[in-house]
Chain A
Amino acid sequence: MMQETTIDRPIMPLRPTSFPRERPSRTADDLAGRPPKISVDHLNFYYGPKQALSDVTLMIPQHCVTALIGPSGCGKSTFLRCLNRMNDMIDNTRVEGEIILDGRSILGPKVDVVALRKRVGMVFQKSNPFPKSVFENVAYGPRVAGVRGKSVLYEIVEKSLVRAALWDEVKDRLNDSALQLSGGQQQRLCIARALATNPDVLLMDEPASALDPASTSRIEDLIFELRDRYTIVIVTHNMQQAARVSDQTAFFYQGELIEAGSTNELFTNPARKQTEDYITGRFG
């Protein structure tokens, strides 16, 4: 007997990985006209005696996707983790320079790191849902921030899951363990979880590097949709991905920011030789 299979959602076709891309990138003029959400000024970062970032200066415009690219160990993840002070958790680190978010410095001992992290959400390379239900995963951020009341939390959970394009798949299994979801669903759950604290900035550390192409494509679509609401900074090893999803690209090499500019320009007409060598695959 034939087994009847039901497909509850259309399968997303894979998109070509090269230019011209189907999701238009913001132009250089558009980027220049936007207010800076985050501005990083002469940032130095040290793990003990080892300098991981030297003199990085970068503007991150509002409601744009900024991609950080570069070979392994170039400092792009370290840079990302400076933006929500996750490096604080590592013993023996030191930071110099200035990072301004919405006109206010986020470095220094007086900053409330907990409040900062509520505004600057983060999604990690390996999806790391808590070993709890789907609902509890998304509700965790608001809960620790003091939100009480099942109906309020439910509303936040639904909204966040809808925004993360996961609601339709999990709305009937909110009480199931999050660890039962597929890898791609887990990563979108982590995005939903980050959105639940209502941040304005979303940091993504290689969010799709552990996913299959179809899930990767869904994440990339999602990033594009989130762009109008959030300022997104994404670290990626995959240059095509940077080209597909970002508006601005910053190329890091050996702890230095070699070049930053609008994605269209950086990928078609890089100003520096090192950048060109990297994006054409000559090293890295």
Chain B
Amino acid sequence: MSQTAFETTAYSRRRARMSQAFSVLCLAATSLGVLVLILLIWEILWQGLPWLNARLLTSFPSMYPEKAGIAAALVSSLWLITLTALFSVPIGVGAAVYLEEYAQASRWRSLVQLNIANLAGVPSIVYGILGLGLFVRALALQRSILAGSLTLTLVVLPIVILAAQESLRAVPNSIRQASFALGATRWQTVWHQVLPAATPGIMTGVILAISRAMGEAAPLVAMGAAATFITFIPLSPIDEFSALPVQIYDWASRPQPEYHHVAAAAIVVLLTVLILLNATAVYVRYRYGKRIRW
């Protein structure tokens, strides 16, 4: 009876087949996702590219699809993300610094932490209704860019806080200890050591959150703030505004097929801006992450 341990048996062959089948299954899942994405983008480009021209970028909405453009919507969206960044970065990073560096472990902190995580999952339309009640009505900001960006700040704040906390947590404790041991106060430690080390991560999180804000239509629609027929370039934060996703939503829901082409062209613009933002995030992470290796 000299049987070596390395001969294949029915059992081992079945296991090998199972393993193979599973890898095929995973490949299929991946391909399906990529395929759908390619189809989507191809469809958009096919519909939108012929309509993508300088006129689209410089014109205002119009009754005639061939004259309609996204000038107001694009500028409004840039206003929105700029102000949203200005509001959400200091508040979000400040909250993260408090929670990570100052707050002692307590039931209260866990409660706050849990709620921030939950808020990140709240549908954005809910924030729109909050924005309508709070900013548009109670604070009488009307349907201004300010009201819109404050609402978007609410949407992205939990994301910014969580991302910033993650980056702060990634700073090794030994750096804090070294700083404290040299007689630095908590503030000096946070300002001179922890924040600089966490900045690439925080920036990445902020840019991704801003991309999300740029793509949000629901809260702006819900607060009734973003108009779809603006024929001027908004010049100050208290002006009325539109927004790219809202404009796209409006055009896409019209019966005339020409408008669908305008919408597709606007989507191409929106996607381009988003890809640029994401590329910046990747670059920041790569460029500054490289310098710091613990």
Tell me the A residues contacting B by CB distance below 8 Å.
84, 86, 89, 91-92, 114-115, 117-118, 121-122, 124, 126, 128-131, 140-141, 144-145, 177, 179, 190, 193-194, 196-197
What is B's interface to A at a CB cutoff of 8 Å? Answer: 104-105, 172, 174-185, 188, 192-193, 196-197, 291-294
With A130-B193, A144-B182 in contact, is A177–B177 under 8 Å at CB? Answer: no
Tell me, in angstroms, the Cα distance from A115 to B184 when the chains sit together: 9
A129 to B193, CA, bound (A): 11
User: How far, in whole Å, are A36 and B226 apart by their CA atoms in the complex?
Assistant: 74
Q: How far is the CA of A196 from the CA of B182 in the complex (A)?
A: 9
Q: How far is the CA of A190 from the CA of B137 in the complex (A)?
A: 58
Partner of B174, one of A84, A114, A121, A126: A126
Determine whether the beta carbon of B178 is less than 8 Å from that of A177: no
Within the complex, what minimum Cβ distance (angstroms) separates B119 from chain A? 26
Interface pair B177/A128, CB less than 8 Å apart: yes
Which residue of chain A lies nearest to B292 when distances are taken between CB atoms in the complex?
Answer: A131
Assess whether A91 is in contact with B182, with CB atoms less than 8 Å apart: no
Q: Are B182 and A194 in contact (CB under 8 A)?
A: yes
Indicate if the CB atoms of B177 and A131 lie closer than 8 Å: no
A131 in contact with B172 (CB, 8 Å)? no
Enumerate chain B residues within 8 angstroms of A190, measured Cβ to Cβ: 178
Q: Is the CB of A128 within 8 A of B172?
A: yes
Cross-interface CB contact of B184 among A91, A121, A144, cutoff 8 Å: A144
Cβ 8 A contact of B182, one of A89, A115, A131, A197: A197
Report the nearest B residue to A190, measured CB to CB: B178
Q: B183's contact among A92, A128, A141, A179, by CB below 8 Å, is which? A: A141
CA distance A121 to B174 in the complex (A): 15
Whole-angstrom CA separation of A192 from B10 in the bound complex: 67
User: Shortest Cβ distance from B182 into chain A, in angstroms?
Assistant: 4
- Identify the interface centre among B177, B185, B291: most chain A CB within 10 Å of its CB: B177
- A114, B184: Cβ atoms closer than 8 Å: yes
Q: Is the CB of A124 within 8 A of B178?
A: yes
B33–chain A nearest beta-carbon distance, Å = 38
List of 10 A-B pairs having minimum Cβ-Cβ separation, nearest first:
A118-B183, A128-B174, A141-B182, A122-B181, A144-B184, A117-B183, A131-B292, A128-B178, A144-B188, A91-B105
**Chain B residues closer than 8 Å to A131, beta-carbon distance:** 175, 196-197, 291-294
Task: Identify which of B175, B182, B197, B293 contacts A117 (C-beta below 8 A).
Answer: B182
Q: Report the separation of the CA atoms of residues A141 and B291 in the bound assembly, to the nearest whole angstrom.
A: 23
Contacts A131-B197, A177-B291 known; A124 to B182 CB distance under 8 Å? no
Bound CA–CA A130/B178 (angstroms): 8
| Residues of the A chain whose Cβ atoms lie less than 8 Å from the Cβ of B105 | 91-92
Residue on A with the closest CB to B185?
A: A114
* In the complex, chain B residues whose CB is within 8 Å of the CB of A124: 174, 177-178, 181
In the complex, what's the smallest C-beta–C-beta distance from A235 to chain B, in angstroms?
A: 14
| Of A122, A124, A126, A130, most B-chain CB atoms within 10 Å | A130
A residues in contact with B292, CB < 8 Å: 131, 179
Contacts of A130 in B (CB 8 A): 175, 178-179, 193
Tell me the smallest distance from the CB of A65 to a CB of chain B, in Å. Answer: 19
Question: What is the minimal beta-carbon distance from B199 to any residue of chain A, in angstroms?
Answer: 11
- CB contacts (< 8 Å) of B178 on chain A: these are 124, 128-130, 190, 193
Q: Find out whether the CB atom of B174 lies under 8 angstroms from the CB atom of A144.
A: no
**Residue in A closest to B293 when the chains form the complex, CB atoms:** A179
- Residues of B within 8 Å of A118, CB to CB, are 182-183
**Measured CA separation A197–B172 after assembly (Å):** 23
Give the complex CA separation of A121 and B178 in angstroms: 10
Cα–Cα distance between A118 and B105 once the two chains are bound (Å): 27
**What residues of chain B lie closer than 8 Å to A141, measured between beta carbons?**
182-184
